[in-house]
């Protein structure tokens, strides 16, 4: 959220079983390495036998050169000793990001536009769509657009083509209103986080025509949820949510328009927080620092 990047700023993400002495070990190791802790967020799901989460941002002169050495120290003094999972990241290495989209452009355009303004600490390296409609829009931003049609019954072939484009080339995939379901095999093989956005209501209206059905029930709030994609469709860990107030005087079309506004705000926040390593998965939940 602060986002003022620096070449010598690193992040250390730690997850695992909570136990006495972890925080001291982490900060001790960083301190002895000459790193100055810029910010530290820590959360324990339960004082007794809970799960532990820590995000530390630190400044270390000449980070790029000294990183490997620091990683070894952390792996030994924290990872091995406490049985924790430790990940080190350099702030200047932005996550290479692919955006997948179908025909609706509001989320895509908002991401590209924020990206160009420097609001999102990611590198958008490609846009993949199952429709050719948005190619011109995307290329205007200087970003490659790949059209991978998904013919009926030929999703495996399409996923193979998508995989060729993505595998090894991206650290993050954002589904900006991509209307195809990705297979479990695809998710497993790609093995990078995938963020999805979808409309949300109180209560939920599953299935077709949710806006129409929300209107028929007199819903007063229209919302959106950004979450990580898992095999259970739309059931993955939630990153961010928001709502907007609507009234009976609005048509279903107007509700959709308001919904689109919430969707792009929520997705942009979720991608921005993920880009800054603020979102730590905790089973099917998230810790957002």
Are 236 and 195 within 8 A, CB to CB? no
Are 201 and 220 within 8 A, CB to CB? no
C-alpha distances out from residue 27 to 1, 98, 114, 203, Å: 22, 35, 35, 44
Shorter beta-carbon distance to a second copy: residue 112 or 175: 112
Please give the angle made by the CA atoms of 66, 69 and 74, to the nearest 5 degrees. 120
Are 120 and 271 within 8 A, CB to CB? yes
The binder of a second copy chosen from 154, 181, 202, 233 (CB under 8 A): 202
Q: What is the dihedral of CA 154, 160, 161, 164, to 10 degrees?
A: 180
Active-site choice (105, 123, 133, 234): 234
Site string for a second copy, 22-61 (x = CB under 8 A): xxx--xx-xx--xxxxxxxxxxx--x-----------x--
Catalytic: 234? yes
Query: Alpha helix (H) ranges present in the chain?
Result: 22-32, 63-74, 81-82, 106-116, 135-140, 155-166, 184-190, 210-217, 252-275
User: Minimum Å distance from CB 72 to a second copy?
Assistant: 18
Closest C-alpha to 84, from 11, 9, 12: 12
* 83-122 residues near a second copy, rule: CB under 8 A: 105-106, 109, 113, 117, 119
Shorter beta-carbon distance to a second copy: residue 35 or 229: 35
Where do we find the tokens 């509700």? 255
Site string for a second copy, 131-170 (x = CB under 8 A): ---------x------------------------------
Using the rule CB under 8 A, give the single segment among 63-71, 85-93, 186-194, 200-208 that binds a second copy.
Answer: 200-208
Using the rule CB under 8 A, give the single segment among 65-73, 74-82, 157-165, 196-204 that binds a second copy.
Answer: 196-204
Shorter beta-carbon distance to a second copy: residue 169 or 284: 284
- Sorted by sequence, the CB contacts under 8 Å of residue 59 that are 6+ apart come out as 6, 8, 9, 10, 35, 36, 38
User: Minimum Å distance from CB 156 to a second copy?
Assistant: 30
Shorter beta-carbon distance to a second copy: residue 95 or 198: 198
Specify which residues 196 forms β-bridges with: 175, 227
* 233-262 residues near a second copy, rule: CB under 8 A: 234-235, 237-243, 245, 247-251, 253-254, 257, 261
Shorter beta-carbon distance to a second copy: residue 148 or 260: 260
Active-site residue set = 234
């Amino acid at each position: 959220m602060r986002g003022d990047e620096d070449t010598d700023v690193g992040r250390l993400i730690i997850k695992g079983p909570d136990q006495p002495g972890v925080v001291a070990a982490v900060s001790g190791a960083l301190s002895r390495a000459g790193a100055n802790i810029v910010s530290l967020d820590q959360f324990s799901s339960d004082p007794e036998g809970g799960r532990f989460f820590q995000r530390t941002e630190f400044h270390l002169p000449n980070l790029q050169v000294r990183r490997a050495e620091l990683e070894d120290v952390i792996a030994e003094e924290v990872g091995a000793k406490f049985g924790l999972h430790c990940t080190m990241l350099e702030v200047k290495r932005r996550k290479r990001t692919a955006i997948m989209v179908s025909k609706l452009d509001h989320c895509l355009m908002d991401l590209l536009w924020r990206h160009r303004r420097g609001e999102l600490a990611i590198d958008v390296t490609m846009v993949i769509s199952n429709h050719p409609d948005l190619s011109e829009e995307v290329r205007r931003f200087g970003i490659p657009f790949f059209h991978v049609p998904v013919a009926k019954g030929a999703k495996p072939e399409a996923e193979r083509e998508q995989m060729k484009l993505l595998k090894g080339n991206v650290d993050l995939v954002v589904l900006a209103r991509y209307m195809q379901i990705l297979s479990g095999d695809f998710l497993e093989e790609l093995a990078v986080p995938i963020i999805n956005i979808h409309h949300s209501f109180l209560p939920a209206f599953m299935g077709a025509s949710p806006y129409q059905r929300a209107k028929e029930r007199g819903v007063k709030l229209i919302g959106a949820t950004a979450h990580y994609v898992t095999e259970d469709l739309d059931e993955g860990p939630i990153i961010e949510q928001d709502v907007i107030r609507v009234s009976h005087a609005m048509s279903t079309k107007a509700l959709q328009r308001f919904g689109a506004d919430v969707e792009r705000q929520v997705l942009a926040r979720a991608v921005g927080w993920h880009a800054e390593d603020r979102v730590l998965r905790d089973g099917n939940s998230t810790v957002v620092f």
